[in-house]
Amino acid sequence: MACLLVPYFAQPWCGAPPPFQLAPTPYQSRPTFPCSSSPSPPPKPSYSFSLSPAAEPFQPRTTTVQWQAPPDGCVKINFDGSMYYDGSGRASIGGVIRDCTGRVLVAFAKRTKPSSPGIAEAQALIHGLQLALRHFPGSWLLVEGDDLMLVKLLRGEDTERRIPLAMQEEIIMLLRRFPACEVNHIFREGNQVADALCHEAYQQPGDREWVGDVRLPQAVWEKARDDAQGKKYVRICKPKPPRCRSFIPSLVKFDLHISRLSMGLFESVMVVVLVSGERALFWRDRWLEGRGIEDIAPNLLAKVHPRRTASRTVKKGMEGEWLRDCGLKLGAEAMAEIFNHWHVLARVQLVPA
Cβ atoms < 10 Å from Cβ of 219: 15
DSSP type of residue 85: -
- Of the candidates 92, 102, 197, which has an alpha carbon nearest to the alpha carbon of residue 142? 102
CATH of the domain at 180: 3.30.420.10
User: Could you write out the DSSP letters of every residue in 165-192?
Assistant: HHHHHHHHHHHTTSSSEEEEE--GGGGH
- Per-residue pLDDT reduced to its tens digit, 189-207: 999 999 999 999 988 878 8
Q: Is residue 75 part of a domain?
A: yes
Query: 155 by DSSP, 3-state: which?
Result: helix
- Per-residue pLDDT reduced to its tens digit, 214-226: 789 999 999 999 9
Same structural domain for residues 203 and 288? no
Same structural domain for residues 80 and 227? yes
Q: Provide, rounded to the nearest whole percent, the portion of the chain with pLDDT above 70.
A: 67
Q: Is residue 211 part of a domain?
A: yes
- Per-residue pLDDT reduced to its tens digit, 281-314: 888 787 776 677 777 788 887 878 877 778 888 8
DSSP type of residue 72: T
Q: Is residue 131 part of a domain?
A: yes
- Per-residue pLDDT reduced to its tens digit, 74-108: 999 999 998 876 666 688 999 999 999 999 999 99
- Per-residue pLDDT reduced to its tens digit, 126-143: 999 999 999 999 899 999
Number of structural domains (the chain) is 2
Q: Which domain holds residue 184?
A: 64-237
Q: Is residue 232 part of a domain?
A: yes
- Per-residue pLDDT reduced to its tens digit, 234-264: 888 766 554 444 444 444 444 455 666 676 6
Give this prediction's pTM: 0.55
Distances 238 to 8, 63, 125, 234, 252 between C-alpha atoms, Å: 65, 11, 28, 13, 21
Q: DSSP E strands: which ranges in the chain?
A: 61-66, 74-83, 91-98, 104-111, 140-145, 181-185, 208-211, 232-237
Out of 237, 262, 290, a domain closes at 237
Q: What is the Cα–Cα distance from 68 to 330, expressed in whole angstroms?
A: 38
Contact of 32 with 8, CB cutoff 8 Å: no
